[in-house]
């Protein structure tokens, strides 16, 4: 057997990328989450060839101090947690410090950032190696460009699906990120075409209207509920407004879009016998809870979470939706205020 030795940093980053960066939509997700964590109110996403040729994310958030820009590309380097205790009350979307080094290791990537208070910094990485670093303009915020994704990992490139599928995945994740942050104005542009634009006006129903259309938003009912552990708000479609895919079920926990089979099941159960087989409603559910009740450190992509009180939450969701829909049968057309 060969000698045991530590792997080179570029290689460990590529291995990590295998988990975090599955496809172009994963890059979009990670970059937009970083932009959201940076706290700006405008995020523009520009995509070419379904993200394989270019993904650019521009935000007007806090920016990175010039002296820290190359640190941000080191594995497990993060400004979002500092201690073990922080891990149990994560409020930011990121905290693992893996996205930038992972993406940089499998693409040609540039990042330009400025805090607005000092001169900006520009870096260019290719295949994980820093090839250029220089000062840049003072414009508060960050612009990240990712070109030629997976150019050096042909196995991963082969696994990528058709451009239509990849673009649909990008649209899907941007929709949900926009729904999770109604106070942020989003735009998604593919090959010069505007795929999505939200106003950032702050209202969830407005954002839903921007994404799913005003007509559909009018056919959605507001729900809200609260118990000791959970605070629930959102919109559920009337049983007449359905889709053939679960893509239109969005569950947000403390502002993070998550995938959870049991919570989806609870939503459907809330409709009782009102849905036809194989049809799903359009639902956006924002749940607030003490971060101690949710473990987001289950998978590197952070979309699966472990909930301490999943059964209780499921029951609350089912009960709330059921009650709201029953009420609607009694007072038709109660939702005309859009």
Binding site for ligand ADP (CB under 6 A): 30, 34-35, 38, 59, 61-64, 72, 77-80, 94-100, 142
Residue 239 binding partner per list ligand ADP, Mg ion, none, with a CB distance cut-off of 5 to 8 Å that depends on partner kind: none
For Mg ion (CB under 5 A), the number of binding residues is: 3
- Min dist CB 88 to Mg ion, Å, is 19
Shortest distance, CB of residue 34 to Mg ion, whole angstroms? Answer: 4
Phi, psi for residue 67 in degrees, rounded to 5: -70, -15
Residue carrying the six token digits 């964590």:
37
Least distance to ligand ADP from the beta carbon of 57, Å? 7
**Min dist. Cβ of residue 31 to Mg ion (A):** 8
Give least dist CB 69 to ligand ADP, A. 8
Among 51, 94, 182, 210, contact with Mg ion (rule: CB under 5 A): 94
CA distance 68 to 62: 13
x/- map, 203-222, Mg ion, by CB under 5 A: --------------------
Nearest-angstrom CA–CA distance, 214 and 216: 5
Q: What is the DSSP letter of 52?
A: T
Mask 42-81, x = binds Mg ion (CB under 5 A)? ----------------------------------------
Instruction: Give dist(CA 286, CA 204) in Å, integer.
Output: 10
Q: Which is nearer to ligand ADP, 99 or 266 (CB)?
A: 99
Q: Which long-range contacts (CB under 8 A, 24 or more apart) does 78-86 make?
A: 80/37
Structure-token pair, residue 196? 């999505």
Q: Which does 62 bind (CB under 5 to 8 A by kind): ligand ADP, Mg ion, none?
A: ligand ADP
* Residue 95 binding: pick among ligand ADP, Mg ion, none (C-beta 5-8 Å cut-off by kind): ligand ADP
Question: Residues 20 to 49: which contact Mg ion by CB under 5 A?
Answer: 34
DSSP string, 92-110: SS--SS-HHHHHHHTSEEE
Task: Based on the shown chain and the rule CB under 5 A, indicate whether residue 102 belongs to the binding site for Mg ion.
Answer: no
* Minimum distance, C-beta of residue 313 to Mg ion, in the bound complex (Å): 26
Q: Which helix (H) or strand (E) holds 30?
A: helix 24-37
Minimum distance from CB of 37 to Mg ion (Å)? 7
> At 187, which helix (H) or strand (E)?
strand 185-190
Least distance from Mg ion to the Cβ atom of residue 16, Å = 12
40 binds, among ligand ADP, Mg ion, none (CB under 5 to 8 A by kind): none
> Which residues, listed in sequence order, are joined to residue 186 by a DSSP beta bridge?
43
CA distances from 100 to 103, 144, 219 (A): 5, 10, 40
Query: Which of 99, 238, 252, 325 is in the footprint of Mg ion by CB under 5 A?
Result: 99
Q: 62 or 316, CB closer to ligand ADP?
A: 62
Token pair 């007072």 in the structure block, residue: 331
Partner from Mg ion, ligand ADP, none contacting 296, C-beta within 5 to 8 A by type: none
Length of the chain counted residue by residue:
338
CB nearer to ligand ADP: give 20 or 313.
20
* SS3 labels along 230-271: EEEEEEEECCCCEECCHHHEEEEECCEEECCHHHHHHHHHHC
C-alpha triplet 144, 101, 307: angle, nearest 5°: 95
With beta carbons less than 8 A apart as the criterion, state whether 257 and 307 touch. no
Which of ligand ADP, Mg ion, none sits in contact with 250, Cβ below 5 to 8 A by type?
A: none
How far is residue 20 from each of residues 75, 209, 266, 291, 299, measured CA to CA in Å? 13, 31, 28, 23, 9
Residues engaged in binding Mg ion (CB under 5 A) = 34, 94, 99
């Amino acid at each position: 057997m060969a000698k045991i030795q530590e792997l080179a940093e570029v290689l460990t980053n590529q291995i990590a990328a295998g988990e975090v960066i599955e496809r172009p939509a994963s890059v979009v997700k990670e970059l937009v989450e970083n932009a959201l964590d940076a706290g700006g109110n405008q995020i523009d996403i520009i995509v070419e060839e379904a993200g394989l040729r270019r993904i650019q994310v521009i935000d007007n958030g806090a920016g990175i101090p010039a002296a820290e820009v190359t640190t941000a590309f080191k594995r497990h380097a993060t400004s979002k947690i500092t201690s073990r205790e922080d891990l149990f009350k994560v409020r930011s979307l990121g905290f693992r410090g893996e996205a930038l080094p992972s993406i940089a290791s499998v693409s040609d990537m540039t990042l330009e950032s400025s805090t607005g208070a000092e001169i900006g910094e520009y870096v260019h990485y290719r295949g994980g190696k820093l090839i250029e670093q220089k000062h840049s303009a003072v414009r508060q915020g960050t612009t990240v460009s990712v070109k030629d994704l997976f150019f050096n990992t042909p196995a991963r490139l082969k696994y990528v699906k058709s451009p239509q599928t990849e673009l649909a995945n990008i649209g899907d994740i941007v929709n949900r990120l926009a729904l999770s942050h109604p106070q942020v104005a989003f735009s998604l542009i593919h090959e010069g075409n505007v795929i999505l634009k939200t106003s950032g006006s702050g209202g969830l129903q407005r954002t839903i209207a921007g994404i799913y259309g005003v007509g559909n938003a009018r056919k959605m009912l507001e729900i809200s509920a609260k118990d000791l552990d959970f605070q629930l708000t959102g919109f559920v479609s009337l049983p007449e407004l359905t889709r053939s895919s679960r893509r239109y079920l969005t569950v947000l926990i403390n502002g993070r879009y998550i995938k959870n089979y049991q919570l989806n099941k609870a939503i459907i159960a809330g409709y009782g016998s009102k849905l036809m087989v194989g049809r799903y409603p359009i639902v956006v559910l924002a749940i607030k809870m003490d971060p101690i009740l949710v473990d987001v450190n289950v998978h590197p992509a952070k979309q699966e979470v472990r909930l301490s009180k999943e059964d209780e939450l499921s029951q609350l969701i089912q009960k709330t939706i059921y009650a709201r829909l029953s009420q609607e049968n009694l007072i038709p057309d109660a939702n005309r205020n859009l």
